[in-house]
Structure 1
Amino acid sequence: MKIVYLIRTRWRWLVGVPLLLVLAVIAADKIWPLPLSEVDPARVVVAEDGTPLWRFADANGIWRYPVTIEEVSPRYLQALIQYEDRWFWDHPGINPFSIARAAWQDLRYGRVVSGGSTLTMQVARLLDPHSRTFGGKVRQVWRALQLEWHLSKRDILTLYLNRAPFGGTLQGIGAASWAYLGKPPAKLSYAEAALLAVLPQAPSRLRPDRWPQRAQAARDKVLDRMVTQNVWPVSQVKESREEPVWLAPRQMPQLAPLFARRMLGVNNALKVTTTLDASLQRQLEELALGVKSRLPARSSLAMIVVDHTNMKVRGWVGSVDINDDSRFSHVDMVSAVRSPGSVLKPFIYGLALDEGLIHPASLLQDVPRRVGDYRPGNFDSGFHGPVSMSEALVRSLNLPAVQVLEAYGPKKFAGNLRNAGLPLILPPDAEPNLSLILGGAGARLEDIAAAYSAFARHGKAGKLRLTPGAPLVERRLMSPGAAWIIRRILANEAQPVPDNALAQVVPLAWKTGTSYGYRDAWAIGINARYVIGIWTGRPDGTPVAGQFGFASAVPLLNQVNNLLQPRSALESARLPRDPRPQTVSSGVICWPGGQSLSPGDSNCRRRLSTWLLEGSQPPTLLMPEQEGLHGINFPLWLNREGHRVAVDCPDAQQKTWIVWPLPLEPWLPAGEHRAARLPAADKVCPPRDDNAPPPLLLSGVREGAVIKRVPGQAFALLPLQSSGGEGGRWWFLNGEPLSAHSHLLSLKLDKSGEYQLLVMDDAGQVATVHFVVQ
């Protein structure tokens, strides 16, 4: 019985003790888990080719460039494993033979000759630093065993690749390769691989940018090991030893800071890959710094470059200088809401083409107008009378754009832009109105650039792609034909030419904009491959006197466009072509009616060649107040002698006379005025009164007069009078409305210069005079 009891007790011990050890190990693993996660990890934002743009250090100031095993040169992996841990793929986390060898060498020579730590043990020390004591070594061994228990060998090696110290605040082979060598770790040479393999052994003492001789000696030691272990050819190692170790100071990624900050907010990855082109981004930032000294005080700028063939953002400059707080350079003006000025005008003209309201040669009226309390004017404070749609767009005239928007509808216009990805930001409770087309709502440069892609993408506006994996999303904004016509007009190719003479690669098409009070200056360009967006102004919204799109933004647009030009014939051959769509044809129309007329027709007062969409020739667009008797199609009854007669007169035949809109008469030759165009009335059977308003006359100063101030007086006094016409009066001096509304006006002028005085009645008639004050 005693023997049986002893046997049973022994078996209990044999089974129980290992079981208790296993349970203790499991409990210890639960109590002291591997510290793999970080509360505030280091992150980096990189360009599409992997070039680091901006790094965001962790809580300890460390920055990393995360890599996988596949993203590291096999040469580095060979050097690392053969030099540090030859049996890495076979041991369970610790190598007893290496530990015994290291201990024997320590005892024999009284100093550390070689280490016994495996790569797994080094990862354990990186994850959980400890003191160099016996207890610390036990702790390291425990962590190494945990690593082998929970992770694969590839995972452990990946941790080493991203956590190994390389001097200062650098950790990981990715950060070291970019900082020291300026290249990705996948492109390391044999000598560079050997250097970076040994550097973590003593990163401070062997830093190649500070101690190149020490670094070279350590590197050569690795190269010799690769020969003795028959890993690398002798000839290759000999050639690598001749390569000197000389490095420039460490290169910290410092590109696209505001864009990088934005990307961190939309992506949780440790390495955020973007669509930016690092080389172009560097050129853009250098360009910004170059023009900084020419900008007014407290002014900044913004630039965006988008490849409209795939909608990838290739360049993004949110401010002129991230380090200049006086210019509010921490504010990203690419995504800031600003008044777009006139940059929305191409959209209303394109949408109106699709609606059949106008064609490129449509007669529009650049004349003073009053719509309720809204009195738009032009940037140059003058008026130009009859203009075509293409001329109005190229010259960025305001009144024609307002006329077309009024016909199209502000709400419809704002809705179409929002649907295409360009929301217009209005004040709370405000409705879209006619001021939209002149910058009366807010917009973002990034959204404007994306919407402009519709002119190069056959009418479809694409959504910006900030990461390579983002899908291409696009929405129809206008027809391919309308987009093609507007782009050609903006590229100064409004006149039709045969297809064999038409440029298939469209030159730079561009549009400027200036917001009210000179707060924002814009220039948006479209070349064969890219959309370029430029903004300049003060981020705090204060005015900058004399700043406008053509003078402030266009020079920068041209400089960016030059950076994007192809550098070889091969690159030029690869540029996207833009042939004429089948829906676009050429035609000849007549003013003032806006449609084709047969040769010799007296109603054709001026012929214009133009592109036509679907062959459509919409008649001249009139303002709401010009309908009926104030229109341009006059039904007349003529007798055999060609005199105007009443409808019930003998032999009366109906004819239609097309006349110019009344507000345009001040800009027309006298022979084109309505009174001169209409046939004379017959004396025997005259036409009845057609209720046409009497002509509007302006007296008090003659055309081209030179007014001299009386000596001793600070101003010139002009008493003026308006006669004829219909209804109230609206006075304009150099395009600016005056407060007077009576038929009489007493004008005081205290400044010398050229003046344009214009008076308008409720019927839309205009009288104007130009004079000089000395």
Structure 2
Amino acid sequence: MVSRNKKLLITLGGIAFCFVAFFALDMVFPFPEHKLHPDTATVVYDRDHKPLRIFLPADEARRMHTNISKVSPVLIRSLLASEDGWYRYHPGINPISVVRAALSNLLAGRVVSGASTIPMQIARMATPEPRTFSAKLKESFRAVQLKLHHSNEELLEIYLNMLPYGGNIEGVAAASHFYFGHDPSTLSLAESALLTTLPRGPAFYDPLRHPQQAKLGRNHVMDQLEERGVFPTAEVARNKEVPLPTAILPVPLKASHFSRMVIERNGLPPEIMTTLNYKLQQTAEARLKEYVSRLRNADIDNAACVIIHIPTREIRALVGSADFFEKGYGGAINLAETKRSPGSTLKPFLYALAMDKGLMVPATFLYDIPVDFSGYSPENYDRTWSGQVEMREALARSLNVPAVKTLARTGVSDFVTLLRKGGLTTLDKKPMEYGLPLVLGGCEVKLTELTNLYASLADNGRYRPFKITPSADNISSQLFSPEVSWITLQMLSKVSRPEMNDTWMLTSDMPETAWKTGTSFGHRDAWAIGISGDYAVGVWVGNPDGRPRKGISGASHAGPLLFDLLRITSPGGKLPPKPDGPGITEIQVCAHSHQLPGPFCTERITIQTLSGKTQLKPCEYCKQIFIDPKSGFRLSGECLDRKKLKKMIIRTLPPQLARWRAENNMEVPLIPPLAPDCDLIPAGNAPKIVSPASSTPYLLRKDTPLKYQQIGLKADAEADSGTLYWFLDGRLVKKGEFNQNLFTEVEAGKHKISVTDSLGRTDSIIFEVLGGK
């Protein structure tokens, strides 16, 4: 009895010792976990889960990670039945298999069976060593470690991602893709049997070099599965007829600019799902490449485009150049993400801002006449002037001076704030550094961000960041009211340019479109952005190296590609409907001034305004005057008590418009002169000095006589101003009509200049002259 108890204690002590020894060794020699998770490739997928690009790890292995939940159950059943039927029950090593393998090896006099379990195979793949007895012991120890520290599902997933499939292909995901062209979730029995066979001898069972051996091995696995009742005979027989793969698919290189952009923004995780519609991407790439081939005949090297789905703000297509792999012409540059001058493409947002501020409406008169902002004198693209135009015409024709004047009214700071709020991340300077040229393209933007800003107009004025990967991100901010957004799109739908043949836009398959073009400073960049249906499409055309091309324009060089893409993207597309509610109101205004009608406005028109926002002034330019019927002189003040008076309604012009028309020999309404005996100064606006300017010092050259450096004298004056008298430091120097070109010599120093009209109304400023002598 004592002896039996002693043996029991020794046995239990031995078992305890083994356990203690194992755990001690486990602590001293932990499993190198990092070897279970080698760097994998990053696979970029389109929205339909089709691979676009596979970015290989540093060792160039085609190693694609997959979760076990995404692997076909057929493959898992095949692997478990063939490799380790007791996988879910043993502690890492299978004692029964070890005994069976030992007997087989002894009888054969050599190693014919290894009894390797799945954990043992993982250990061998993680830390490969020559196949010796001591290596087998270490492998067994490591297998028990793996079982101790990982669940069965975790180990099985590790195993599936480590299996070798020949060459640099590792893991079932990579094997499934490169051998069969699909992910492992849909593997058939024949495919699963081949992927079970290949790791046993990747070179021996290579289906490309040794198809007969590969087929025998594959069919043998299926026979085993049939014998063990894993799969029925009919299914096995059918799958034996499936042909083997005849080629390994190349690493996909689709949507290269977009895929690189995805990596730059998301790093290198195993998988990245994106928003790209590859069918649309292919079409856009083909159209852009063919279009660029024609542009190069005109010394224009490249183009880029982006297509954004407005309801989701997902980028559905992005082409960064005509050919990513082209060595010349900046092929590898993602021109859709490159900072370039936007030309006039920012104008719609300025006018939208002005409308939301209540400063103007589409029918507001603006003035396209020469102007000088402290030395900055913008000009139109065609170097012509149009005089008085409605705001909607100024936008449709992309006139520069009205836009610059509007920016001066709204304020550069507010405009920069708006653009930044709308996602233009490239505006990183202070507003004063941009100044008034900002609205004409005096900054840099990206095509992706600019196109998304236009998408906001079709989304009730709401900005949301564009997406390249699916997300539930609902971050948004209101840029414009829905009413202003709709009005802006309506104005952009009427865009027409004289240098463009409009007939091609009026074809039956042309979707309803709101669009805008832009041409940058120095003739370097041409833009066209359009909205139709659910899509915003942006196009950039130019030379990646910044080389100018005289005559380049957004309308003629970017516009045709824009409309080609719109036909593809949004056939039959429509613009958003007018917002519900009373936000847009129709009112009557003076037909002459487009201001609120006064008592002498005899003609009226109906215009759209924004309820509670639009601020209109009473008409200033339709007036009633009194005339002496005998002399024809105008009467005022105390002269109005005369018995015989003739009433007359006259229509005048804003002073700056009247002066420009007079300088260009155009008709200007004249007011009869005031009767000499009516000496009271009548009401009205005094002349306003335009030149010289008080804010800009004038510089005299030392080597040039003063008579060749005279300063111009100009003033905006009312139609009844008559002769203007100019006084320099209290001394009369010039007199003449408001439309005459007058000049005077001025020496260095600070000076006061005054102007007085025939009615005694006066304006004066202080200005400074530097240099001289």
Q: CA deviation at 1:60?
A: 1.7
Asked if 1:514 is matched to 2:508, the reply is: no
Q: Which residue of 2 aligns with 1:560?
A: 565
Q: Which residue of 1 aligns with 2:493?
A: 491
Paired with 2:478 and 2:193, the residues of 1 have a C-alpha distance of 55
Show the 5 A alignment for 1:706-725.
none
Q: Which residue of 2 aligns with 1:528?
A: 533
Question: Is this contact kept in 1: 2:416–2:427, CA < 8 A?
Answer: no
Q: Which residue of 1 aligns with 2:546?
A: 541
Q: Which residue of 1 aligns with 2:326?
A: 324
Question: Is this contact kept in 2: 1:592–1:620, CA < 8 A?
Answer: no
Paired with 2:626 and 2:673, the residues of 1 have a C-alpha distance of 10
For the residue of structure 2 that corresponds to 1:417, the secondary structure is helix
Question: Is this contact kept in 2: 1:180–1:251, CA < 8 A?
Answer: no
Letter in 2 for 1:633: Y
Q: CA deviation at 1:255?
A: 2.7
Letter in 1 for 2:275: T
Identity of aligned residues (%): 34
Q: Which moved more, 1:631-640 or 1:38-47?
A: 631-640
Letter in 1 for 2:668: R
Paired with 2:59 and 2:713, the residues of 1 have a C-alpha distance of 83
Q: CA deviation at 1:656?
A: 7.5
Q: CA deviation at 1:413?
A: 0.9
Given the superposition, is the C-alpha separation of residues 7 and 492 from structure 1 closer, same or farther in structure 2, using an over 3 Å criterion? same
Q: CA deviation at 1:345?
A: 0.8
Question: Is this contact kept in 2: 1:594–1:618, CA < 8 A?
Answer: no
Q: Which residue of 1 aligns with 2:406?
A: 404
Letter in 2 for 1:25: F
Question: Is this contact kept in 2: 1:45–1:274, CA < 8 A?
Answer: yes
Q: Which residue of 2 aligns with 1:231?
A: 230
Q: CA deviation at 1:248?
A: 4.8
**620, 643, 649: which one aligns with 2:639:** 649
Question: Is this contact kept in 1: 2:357–2:614, CA < 8 A?
Answer: no
Show the 5 A alignment for 1:362-441.
362-423=364-425, 425=427, 430-441=432-443
Q: Which residue of 2 aligns with 1:174?
A: 173
Q: CA deviation at 1:470?
A: 4.9
Given the superposition, is the C-alpha separation of residues 432 and 727 from structure 1 closer, same or farther in structure 2, using an over 3 Å criterion? farther
**622, 638, 645: which one aligns with 2:626:** 638
Q: Which moved more, 1:324-333 or 1:402-411?
A: 324-333
Question: Is this contact kept in 2: 1:594–1:620, CA < 8 A?
Answer: no
Letter in 2 for 1:638: F
Paired with 2:455 and 2:672, the residues of 1 have a C-alpha distance of 51
For the residue of structure 1 that corresponds to 2:530, the secondary structure is strand
Letter in 2 for 1:637: I
Paired with 1:375 and 1:669, the residues of 2 have a C-alpha distance of 17
Paired with 1:204 and 1:562, the residues of 2 have a C-alpha distance of 51
Q: Which residue of 1 aligns with 2:273?
A: 273
Q: TM-score, normalised by structure 2?
A: 0.76
Residues 531-558 of structure 1 show CA distances to partners (whole Å, capped at 9, x for unaligned) of 2222233344332333332233223323
Q: CA deviation at 1:645?
A: 1.9
Question: Is this contact kept in 2: 1:589–1:596, CA < 8 A?
Answer: yes
For the residue of structure 2 that corresponds to 1:551, the secondary structure is helix
Q: CA deviation at 1:265?
A: 4.6
Paired with 2:81 and 2:283, the residues of 1 have a C-alpha distance of 42
Q: Which residue of 2 aligns with 1:551?
A: 556
Question: Is this contact kept in 2: 1:29–1:146, CA < 8 A?
Answer: yes
Residues 99-135 of structure 1 show CA distances to partners (whole Å, capped at 9, x for unaligned) of 4545555666788877632222222222222223333
Question: Is this contact kept in 1: 2:412–2:432, CA < 8 A?
Answer: no
Letter in 1 for 2:271: K
Residues 374-426 of structure 1 show CA distances to partners (whole Å, capped at 9, x for unaligned) of 11111222222222222222222211111211111111111122233224525
Q: CA deviation at 1:172?
A: 1.9
Residues 679-712 of structure 1 show CA distances to partners (whole Å, capped at 9, x for unaligned) of 6867996996879879x9xxxxxxxxxxxxxxxx
For the residue of structure 1 that corresponds to 2:354, the secondary structure is helix
For the residue of structure 1 that corresponds to 2:366, the secondary structure is strand
Paired with 1:472 and 1:532, the residues of 2 have a C-alpha distance of 22
Residues 245-276 of structure 1 show CA distances to partners (whole Å, capped at 9, x for unaligned) of 34454131213444444444544533233333
Q: Which moved more, 1:649-658 or 1:477-486?
A: 649-658
Paired with 2:133 and 2:59, the residues of 1 have a C-alpha distance of 27
**29, 33, 42: which one aligns with 1:32:** 29
Given the superposition, is the C-alpha separation of residues 508 and 649 from structure 1 closer, same or farther in structure 2, using an over 3 Å criterion? same
For the residue of structure 2 that corresponds to 1:156, the secondary structure is helix
Q: CA deviation at 1:471?
A: 1.1
Asked if 1:358 is matched to 2:363, the reply is: no
Q: CA deviation at 1:511?
A: 1.5
Paired with 1:358 and 1:30, the residues of 2 have a C-alpha distance of 78
Q: CA deviation at 1:150?
A: 0.7
Q: Which residue of 2 aligns with 1:460?
A: 462
Runs of 5+ unmatched residues, structure 1? 495-504, 567-571, 622-630, 697-721, 729-740, 745-762, 764-774
Show the 5 A alignment for 1:340-359.
340-359=342-361
Q: Which residue of 2 aligns with 1:760?
A: none
Asked if 1:21 is matched to 2:18, the reply is: yes
Q: CA deviation at 1:458?
A: 0.6
Given the superposition, is the C-alpha separation of residues 53 and 217 from structure 1 closer, same or farther in structure 2, using an over 3 Å criterion? same
Question: Is this contact kept in 2: 1:421–1:447, CA < 8 A?
Answer: yes
Q: Which residue of 2 aligns with 1:710?
A: none
Question: Is this contact kept in 2: 1:511–1:524, CA < 8 A?
Answer: yes
Q: Which residue of 1 aligns with 2:654?
A: 661
Question: Is this contact kept in 1: 2:600–2:623, CA < 8 A?
Answer: no
Question: Is this contact kept in 2: 1:366–1:385, CA < 8 A?
Answer: yes
Question: Is this contact kept in 2: 1:491–1:510, CA < 8 A?
Answer: yes
Paired with 1:36 and 1:78, the residues of 2 have a C-alpha distance of 26
Residues 161-181 of structure 1 show CA distances to partners (whole Å, capped at 9, x for unaligned) of 222222322222222222233
Alignment size in residue pairs: 679
Given the superposition, is the C-alpha separation of residues 480 and 669 from structure 1 closer, same or farther in structure 2, using an over 3 Å criterion? farther
Paired with 1:481 and 1:506, the residues of 2 have a C-alpha distance of 22
For the residue of structure 2 that corresponds to 1:472, the secondary structure is coil
Q: Which residue of 1 aligns with 2:197?
A: 198
CA RMSD of aligned residues (A): 4.3
Given the superposition, is the C-alpha separation of residues 209 and 490 from structure 1 closer, same or farther in structure 2, using an over 3 Å criterion? farther
For the residue of structure 2 that corresponds to 1:327, the secondary structure is coil
Letter in 2 for 1:659: T
Q: Which residue of 2 aligns with 1:158?
A: 157
Q: CA deviation at 1:515?
A: 1.2
Q: Which residue of 1 aligns with 2:706?
A: none
Letter in 1 for 2:422: A
Paired with 2:575 and 2:129, the residues of 1 have a C-alpha distance of 60
For the residue of structure 1 that corresponds to 2:328, the secondary structure is helix
Letter in 1 for 2:461: G
Q: Which residue of 1 aligns with 2:732?
A: none
Show the 5 A alignment for 1:170-319.
170-208=169-207, 211-267=210-266, 269-294=269-294, 296=296, 299-319=301-321
Question: Is this contact kept in 2: 1:426–1:441, CA < 8 A?
Answer: no
**424, 443, 446: which one aligns with 2:445:** 443
Given the superposition, is the C-alpha separation of residues 482 and 668 from structure 1 closer, same or farther in structure 2, using an over 3 Å criterion? farther
Given the superposition, is the C-alpha separation of residues 273 and 593 from structure 1 closer, same or farther in structure 2, using an over 3 Å criterion? same
Q: Which residue of 1 aligns with 2:697?
A: none
Residues 202-248 of structure 1 show CA distances to partners (whole Å, capped at 9, x for unaligned) of 33444445555544443333333343333334333333333323445
Residues 299-345 of structure 1 show CA distances to partners (whole Å, capped at 9, x for unaligned) of 44333222221222223333443333433444433333222211111
Runs of 5+ unmatched residues, structure 2? 497-509, 691-711, 716-723, 727-740, 745-762, 764-773
Paired with 1:12 and 1:84, the residues of 2 have a C-alpha distance of 38
Show the 5 A alignment for 1:127-138.
127-138=126-137
Q: CA deviation at 1:475?
A: 0.6
Paired with 1:599 and 1:688, the residues of 2 have a C-alpha distance of 23
Question: Is this contact kept in 1: 2:302–2:329, CA < 8 A?
Answer: yes
Q: TM-score, normalised by structure 1?
A: 0.76
